[in-house]
Amino acid sequence: AAGVTAIYSNNHAFAAVKEGGEVVTWGDEGYGGDSSAVADRLAAGVTAISGSRAAFAAVKEGGEVVTWGHAAAGGDSSAVADRLAAGVTAIYSNNLAFAAVKEGGEVVTWGDAGYGGDSSAVADRLAAGVTAIYSSSAAFAAVKEGG
């Protein structure tokens, strides 16, 4: 397709971002190849996408996050949707979870709890000041200001 600026992938699907931020997806429907449920939110303004093993998360201008794909792999972010409505600057993923960094360094996670999708045990330490996230296949590590 003309105007494609970036292509992202997971185990069985692809997501392309076109000029203007429209997203086009293809591949296994259960892995995010079918984004029709959120197509209206992916029609413009997407700046970056991250993929878990079976889902995608897109960051839009203004920092809104849109997710789709297998619910248990992070395709369902409804539990934290209010915290993903604006202000996200970066998204990281592992096999089954996502971590978003917001302005000011707050971290929001979702997806499989055993893969870091539930960070409630360390939420106080992730409330501000995080500058980077690193991921393994099943966990996240956050770097805060001052190391």
HSE-CB of 78 using CA atoms within 13 angstroms: 6
CB atoms within 10 A of CB 145: 9
pLDDT digits (tens, 9 = 90+) for 22-44: 999 999 999 999 999 999 999 99
Helix (H, G, I), strand (E, B) or coil at 137: coil
Percent of the chain scored above 70 by pLDDT? 99
> Which pLDDT does position 105 carry in this prediction?
98
pLDDT digits (tens, 9 = 90+) for 71-120: 999 999 999 999 999 999 999 999 999 999 999 999 999 999 999 999 99
Rounded Cα distance, 123 and 78, in Å: 18
